[in-house]
């Protein structure tokens, strides 16, 4: 899949978008989405605000970048500006475009934007919706996933790692699964990048996902997750 990256400035908003696909700058404005009658639905996205909306017969997800940890005590959504080409939404858009060119299952990037706020900026990103795939925790709270799905997750992670893709926040919430089609997609590539192959960071990525699942199991008494499930994932990742 090819992407035609174009950079425009509209009403103080810098936008990077794929000029070869459908896009309307009004998609970034919640009020404009309401006025134009684009149906919207809130989406769970951790510290970031996100919303599904429909336009032109297709569904998209718009997320507003939010801070986490200690920086969130100072500002909930502002980042230090060090050049438009190094902003977080533009970097994530470009990485997603690269992942699609490699045929990897990740959200299709539509447009990224930021607004200068003095020495800082606020940011947003629009991607094509990945539904009907759902976040892994939601599925595990409803029913057992099944060995085939766990193996599909392991094989998908291996595909990304074989391409040198390091996910900065590989937790269970960022693994989406279409249970019926045994389809897996990874989401939220903020701060992620393509790295030189090394077993150390690959093992750390897998360990991070495992800790995330263990944390969920401790948090929810009714979570359909067992050690055998993760063993199936790991076995498939290793080519077994």
Which among 124, 137, 130, 88 is positioned nearest to 106, based on CA atoms?
130
CA 112 to chain centre: 13
Among 29, 169, 178, 235, the one annotated catalytic = 169
Determine phi and psi for 74, rounding to 5 degrees.
-95, -40
Told to judge if 235 belongs to the known catalytic residues of this protein, a careful annotator would answer no
Tokens of 152: 């599909």
Q: Report the C-alpha gap between 199 and 32 in whole angstroms.
A: 47
Looking at the chain, the number of H-run helices and the number of E-run strands are 6, 13
Q: Report the C-alpha gap between 176 and 105 in whole angstroms.
A: 10
Active site residues: 169
């Amino acid at each position: 899949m090819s992407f035609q990256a174009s950079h425009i400035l509209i009403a103080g908003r810098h936008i990077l978008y794929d000029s070869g696909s459908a896009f309307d700058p009004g998609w970034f404005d919640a009020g404009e989405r309401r006025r134009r009658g684009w149906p919207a639905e809130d989406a769970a996205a951790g510290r970031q605000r996100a919303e599904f909306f429909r336009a032109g017969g297709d569904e998209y997800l718009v997320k507003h970048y939010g801070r986490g940890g200690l920086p969130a005590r100072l500002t909930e959504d502002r980042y230090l500006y060090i050049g438009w080409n190094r902003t977080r939404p533009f970097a994530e858009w470009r990485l997603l475009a690269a992942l699609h060119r490699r045929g990897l299952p990740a959200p299709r990037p539509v447009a990224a934007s930021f607004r200068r706020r003095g020495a800082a900026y606020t940011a947003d990103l629009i991607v094509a919706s990945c539904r009907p795939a759902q976040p892994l925790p939601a599925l595990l709270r409803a029913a057992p996933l099944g060995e085939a799905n766990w193996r599909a997750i392991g094989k998908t992670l291996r595909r990304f790692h074989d391409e040198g893709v390091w996910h900065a926040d590989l937790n269970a919430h960022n693994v989406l699964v279409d249970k019926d089609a045994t389809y897996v997609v990874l989401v939220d590539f903020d701060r992620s990048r393509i790295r030189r192959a090394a077993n150390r960071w690959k093992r750390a990525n897998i360990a991070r996902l495992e800790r995330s699942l263990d944390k969920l199991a401790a948090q929810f008494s009714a979570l359909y997750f067992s050690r055998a499930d993760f063993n199936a994932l790991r076995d498939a990742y290793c080519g077994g």
